[in-house]
């Protein structure tokens, strides 16, 4: 539950990344729009209909039936954007090759109609408008020379466009920003999905597999960091030895030993604050680090720890085990280093084995 909550908080903080992605895509789109040559589109519309010279009503009905199948309209559209009609138009207009660069010509039949639309796209709005109307006129002439049943004529002449259809800075910017937003969200999701397994792996490397407490290596590093980063704050460090298990541990099944050690850690955590650390120091020794804790509060905390551990443990066989804990406690001195505190703590624990009190505070 805690890991899930932490991941959610990290996901919430990822809004900065989302903004960066969105802004980057929008800026890239703006730069691209500024560097791209504006392209214009001119369009001319044509209407296909039966020839007015048809005299027989049967011919009119037949021609309408054929026209309804749209094969004629499609054929006329193909003729309008054919190379033959285009080349004939270019020759008549005597256009320079440079004026025809990046020119695109295509036509289409509007849905459920006999109306054709011829599109001409290019960088020069005057040239594309001239081409659209002249290609249309030449196409009409060519079609009338070979088809007599159906006629074609202009419905709307092409008008010189005032604004380019490509690029469109506002629309393109919004689309790019949307893509950037999606990319940022995907990046955060992927990052978090990768972070969780890595953090779980890291957590396992810092945790004793049997007791689920921190390892000695992690405790040593944490103690050193506390001494370096918080030089003026009090600090308490202690070792707890479970004397009652000395003669039993080798005879217990591994499964039972695991349960016992995990219950010990649970009891220790129950008596400590959230920022206190518990680690397995040795086979039957656990360590506790109490940041920002003076001597008297530290002694009282360790008394509670030992009191909790003195309660007998019941194992799966129904038998009870007395842990008989003793502890050595170290209170930070100004000249202390990590090695010195650990040495004093181990010496205090050794004295606790033979002393009259169950908690020995290192001098």
Distance CA 27, CA 177 (A): 9
The reply to whether 161 falls in a domain is: no
The reply to whether 152 falls in a domain is: yes
31/45 same-domain check: no
State the Cα angle at 349 between 303 and 222, rounded to 5°.
Answer: 80
The reply to whether 11 falls in a domain is: yes
26/172 same-domain check: yes
Domain residue limits at 99:
40-156
| pLDDT tens over the chain, length 363 residues | 444 555 555 555 678 888 888 899 899 988 888 888 899 999 999 998 877 665 444 444 454 454 445 577 888 888 898 999 999 998 899 888 887 888 999 999 988 888 999 999 999 999 999 999 999 999 999 988 887 767 889 999 999 999 998 888 888 888 888 998 898 888 877 776 666 555 555 656 688 889 989 999 999 999 999 998 877 889 999 999 999 998 888 888 889 999 999 999 999 999 999 899 999 999 999 999 999 999 999 999 999 999 999 999 888 878 889 999 999 999 999 888 999 999 999 999 999 988 778 999 997
Q: Given phi > 0 = left and psi -120 to 50 = alpha, else beta, which region is 324?
A: left
With the CA atoms of 24, 28, 30 and 36 taken in that order, what torsion angle do they form, in degrees rounded to the nearest 10? 180
Q: What pLDDT does residue 346 have?
A: 94
- Buried-state track 335-362, b at ≥16 Cβ within 10 A, e below 16: ebebeebbebbbbbbebbeeeeebbbbb
Distance CA 338, CA 333 (A): 11
The reply to whether 211 falls in a domain is: no
- Buried-state track 255-271, b at ≥16 Cβ within 10 A, e below 16: ebbebbbebbbebbbeb
The reply to whether 243 falls in a domain is: yes
186/286 same-domain check: no
Residue 341's SS3 state is: helix
12/66 same-domain check: no
Output the domain CATH number for residue 89.
3.30.70.1130
187/261 same-domain check: no
Distance CA 140, CA 118 (A): 12
Q: How many domains does the chain have?
A: 3
249/175 same-domain check: no
Q: What pLDDT does residue 99 have?
A: 79
220/250 same-domain check: yes
107/175 same-domain check: no
Distance CA 37, CA 286 (A): 73
The reply to whether 173 falls in a domain is: yes
Q: What pLDDT does residue 207 have?
A: 87
Q: What is the pTM of this model?
A: 0.50
**Closest by Cα among 11, 32, 6, 38 to 190:** 11
Distance CA 262, CA 270 (A): 12
The reply to whether 70 falls in a domain is: yes
Stretch (H or E) spanning 171: helix 169-206
Output the domain CATH number for residue 288.
3.30.70.270
245/103 same-domain check: no
174/262 same-domain check: no
148/173 same-domain check: no
106, 120 in Cβ contact below 8 A? no
13, 191 in Cβ contact below 8 A? no
Please report, for residues 217, 229, 285, 362, the alpha-carbon distance to residue 344 in angstroms, rounded to integers and kept in the order given: 18, 21, 15, 6
Distance CA 328, CA 361 (A): 6
192/241 same-domain check: no
**Closest by Cα among 224, 194, 244 to 341:** 224
Q: Is the peptide bond preceding residue 155 cis, with omega within 30 degrees of 0?
A: no
Q: What pLDDT does residue 203 have?
A: 59
The reply to whether 55 falls in a domain is: yes
Strand ranges inside the chain, DSSP E: 40-50, 104-109, 115-122, 150-156, 235-242, 277-280, 285-291, 313-314, 320-321, 325-331, 359-361
């Amino acid at each position: 539950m805690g890991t899930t909550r932490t991941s959610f908080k990290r996901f919430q903080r990822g809004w900065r990344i989302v903004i960066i992605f969105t802004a980057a895509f929008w800026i890239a789109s703006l730069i691209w729009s500024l560097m791209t040559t504006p392209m214009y589109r001119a369009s001319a519309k044509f209407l296909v209909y039966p020839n007015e010279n048809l005299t027989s009503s049967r011919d009119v009905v037949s021609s309408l039936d054929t026209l309804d199948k749209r094969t004629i309209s499609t054929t006329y559209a193909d003729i309008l954007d054919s190379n033959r009609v285009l080349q004939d138009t270019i020759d008549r207009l005597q256009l320079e090759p440079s004026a025809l660069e990046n020119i695109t010509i295509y036509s289409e039949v509007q849905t459920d109609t006999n109306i054709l639309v011829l599109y001409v796209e290019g960088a020069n709005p005057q040239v594309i408008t001239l081409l659209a109307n002249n290609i249309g006129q030449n196409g009409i002439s060519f079609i009338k020379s070979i088809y007599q049943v159906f006629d074609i004529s202009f419905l709307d002449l092409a008008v010189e466009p005032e604004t380019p259809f490509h690029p469109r800075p506002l629309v393109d910017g919004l689309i790019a920003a949307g893509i950037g937003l999606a990319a940022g969200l995907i990046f955060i999701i992927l990052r978090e999905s990768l972070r969780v397994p890595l953090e779980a792996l890291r957590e396992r490397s810092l945790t004793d597999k049997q007791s689920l407490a921190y390892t000695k290596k992690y405790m040593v590093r944490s103690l050193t960091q506390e001494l370096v980063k918080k030089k003026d704050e009090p600090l308490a460090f202690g070792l707890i030895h479970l004397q009652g298990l000395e003669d039993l541990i080798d005879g217990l099944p591994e499964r039972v030993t695991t349960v016992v050690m995990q219950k010990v850690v649970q009891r220790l955590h129950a008596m400590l604050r959230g920022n206190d650390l518990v680690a397995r120091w040795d086979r039957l020794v656990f360590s506790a680090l109490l940041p920002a804790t003076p001597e008297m509060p530290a002694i009282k905390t360790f008394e509670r720890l030992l009191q909790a551990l003195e309660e007998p443990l019941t194992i799966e066989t129904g038998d009870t085990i007395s842990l008989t804990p003793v502890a050595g406690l170290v209170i930070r001195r100004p000249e202390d280093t990590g090695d010195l505190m650990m040495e004093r703590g181990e010496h205090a624990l050794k004295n606790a084995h033979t002393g009259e009190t169950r908690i020995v505070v290192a001098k």
